[in-house]
Amino acid sequence: MRLPVLDKNFYPMIKALTDFEAEVQKSGSSVKVTLVAERSGGYNYVYTYNALADGVNDALNFRIAERMAKTILWVVGGFKISVAGSKSIYEYLKKAYTLDGLRAFDVDFMSGVYERPFEVEWLEEKDIPEQKNASMRVGGYLDGCRIGFDAGGSDRKVSAVIDGEVVYSEEVVWNPKVTEDPTYHYNEILTAMNTAASKMPRVDAIGVSSAGVYVDNKIMVASLFIKVDKSKYGDYVKNMYINVAKEMGENIPLEVANDGDVTALAGAIDLNDNGVLGIAMGTSEAVGYINTQGGINGWLSELAFAPVDFNDGAMQDEWSGDFGVGCKYFSQDAVIKLAEYGGFTFEDGLTPAQKLKVIQAMMEKDDPLAKQIYEDIGVYLAHTIPFYAKFYDIKHMLLLGRVMGGKGGDIILATCKEVLAAEYPEFAGLDIGLPDEKNRRVGQSIAAASLPATKA
């Protein structure tokens, strides 16, 4: 198996599952385990696998169950995980998913999103439900004068779009994740909106692409406000996009969507096809999916928090406290991590975005370390695609974000395709692509402009 040169301990989740399946088969004693994630509207996701019988290797059994429960939860979302088939796995997960347990961050996050306590419950086999899926249309509206805003963690992008034609786009560096005063966020967003509005005769609709979870255009959870005191500014933050839109004019249609879904939408619009998984590699990893029916599933797709590396010594994510999750493999943090693994020392005082620019500048000069960094990210991606494909029916994959800019993005793509062909031939024909250089960086804000339907 080809591993990243700078991260030789990388243990892909797909390989961990294959190894586990072999262990189960070799043991001659297995139990069928079912995990069900339930979310609002009666929708759920059902995942069944064969585990080791109790007492064979409980530590491995528990770790696989925990990693898969975690993955499912961050793929589809939910306020409840139900477990059937193994009481010991149920007891382990029940203890892990408490406010003082291993997955306390996940419990707190999901409770905030769904505004109800998180729970883990036992499920008898006879009570395992049928999977209930959702599919909702999103975006693709191009009529009129539209503003598309993309709230990245390191820069904010805005586009003015008239009848599907981009008449203006800009990209401005900002620092929302280290700022405690939310009036900073509000003023920066409003400034971007006003700039775009000044390039058009009027504003008919506003679409927003932003990391986090949104319900009825309200900000439920978003990393952009990680330093803001929720107890003091909760409602102010929650209604920020709604209030900014009101300042732009009365009754302007507004639609706020997760940036990952907007990435996928950008791909679906460009390709004129569905079944698109979009991955934006920027401050973090943003993932979205346009299903084969051309809608969204109503899933969280917050794969920044889903595991991709089974190595228990993998890098820790500072926010969630977990190890080996996507945000450290498909983001500017991945570039920085690999550079430091390769012995590179950054100047003191640089922000993560500035560190990325250092490596990008090195890559433009064909620096060998920079080239290796991007090749290693391509290897990460190739081993992760088959794991993601367990949950998403992927016809096309679109890669965006600042990490994909310049020569580095081309190297990531080429390496990924090479490793897929060699090690996962069933995925060798998968359509994986990059938009043009401008759209790699501002494509999300353009797609965001198409989110709201205008009033008839």
pLDDT (tens digit, 9 = 90+) per residue, 226-261? 999 988 999 999 999 999 999 999 999 999 988 778
pLDDT of 180: 96
Does residue 75 belong to any structural domain of this protein? Answer: yes
Q: Which domain holds residue 170?
A: 158-254
Q: Are 241 and 220 in contact (CB under 8 A)?
A: no
Same domain flag for 48 and 121: yes
Average per-residue pLDDT for the chain: 93
Buried-exposed string 379-392: b where 16+ CB fall within 10 A, e elsewhere: bbbbbbbbbbbebb
Q: Express the helix, strand and coil content of the chain in percent, nearest 5 each.
A: 45, 20, 35
Same domain flag for 112 and 23: yes
pLDDT (tens digit, 9 = 90+) per residue, 341-353? 999 999 999 999 9
Tally of residues, the chain:
456
Q: Are 88 and 94 in contact (CB under 8 A)?
A: no
Last residue of a domain, one of 219, 254, 289: 254
Tokens 């917050």 sit at which residue? 302
pLDDT of 456: 52
Last residue of a domain, one of 218, 234, 254: 254
Overall average pLDDT of the 401-430 stretch: 95
Same domain flag for 86 and 62: yes
Tokens 């938009």 sit at which residue? 435
Q: Which of 251, 390, 277 is nearest to 330 (CA)?
A: 277
- Written as one string, the DSSP assignment of 115-180 is TS--EEEE--GGGPPPP----EE------SEEEEEEE-SSEEEEEEEETTEEEEEEEEE--GGG--
Model confidence band, residue 383 (pLDDT cutoffs 50, 70, 90): very high
Does residue 136 belong to any structural domain of this protein? Answer: no
Residue 388 pLDDT greater than 60, yes or no: yes
- Full-model pTM: 0.86
pLDDT (tens digit, 9 = 90+) per residue, 112-160? 888 899 999 999 999 999 999 988 888 889 899 999 999 988 889 999 9
Model confidence band, residue 442 (pLDDT cutoffs 50, 70, 90): low
pLDDT of 267: 80
Same domain flag for 240 and 304: no
Does residue 452 belong to any structural domain of this protein? Answer: no
Rounded distance between C-alpha atoms, residue 119 and residue 220, angstroms? 19
Does residue 66 or residue 295 have the better pLDDT? 66
From the CB of residue 430, how many other CB atoms can be counted at a distance below 10 Å? 19
Same domain flag for 217 and 275: no
Overall average pLDDT of the 275-280 stretch: 92
Positive or negative, the CA dihedral 293, 77, 330, 390 is: negative
pLDDT of 142: 87
Model confidence band, residue 5 (pLDDT cutoffs 50, 70, 90): very high
Query: What are residue 373's DSSP bridge partners?
Result: none
Rounded distance between C-alpha atoms, residue 377 and residue 375, angstroms? 5
Same domain flag for 266 and 239: no
Same domain flag for 217 and 164: yes
pLDDT of 436: 64
Same domain flag for 236 and 363: no
Same domain flag for 171 and 245: yes
Rounded distance between C-alpha atoms, residue 197 and residue 186, angstroms? 16
Does residue 146 belong to any structural domain of this protein? Answer: no
Give kind and range of the element (H or E) at residue 277: strand 276-281
Does residue 451 belong to any structural domain of this protein? Answer: no
Residue 438 pLDDT greater than 60, yes or no: no
Counting the structural domains of the chain, the total is 3
Does residue 322 belong to any structural domain of this protein? Answer: yes
Same domain flag for 377 and 288: yes
Domain of 438: which CATH number? 3.30.420.40
Largest CA distance in the chain: 71
What percent of the chain is modeled with pLDDT above 70? Answer: 98
Show the tokens assigned to 230. 């929720």
Last residue of a domain, one of 218, 238, 254: 254
pLDDT of 311: 97
Same domain flag for 177 and 115: no
pLDDT of 434: 85
Residue 12 pLDDT greater than 80, yes or no: yes
Does residue 456 belong to any structural domain of this protein? Answer: no
Residues in CB range of 368: below 8 A, 6 or more apart: none
Does residue 375 belong to any structural domain of this protein? Answer: yes
pLDDT of 197: 98
pLDDT of 261: 85
Same domain flag for 290 and 422: yes
Overall average pLDDT of the 266-282 stretch: 87
Q: Are 319 and 74 in contact (CB under 8 A)?
A: no
pLDDT (tens digit, 9 = 90+) per residue, 186-231? 999 999 999 999 999 999 999 999 888 888 899 988 889 999 998 8
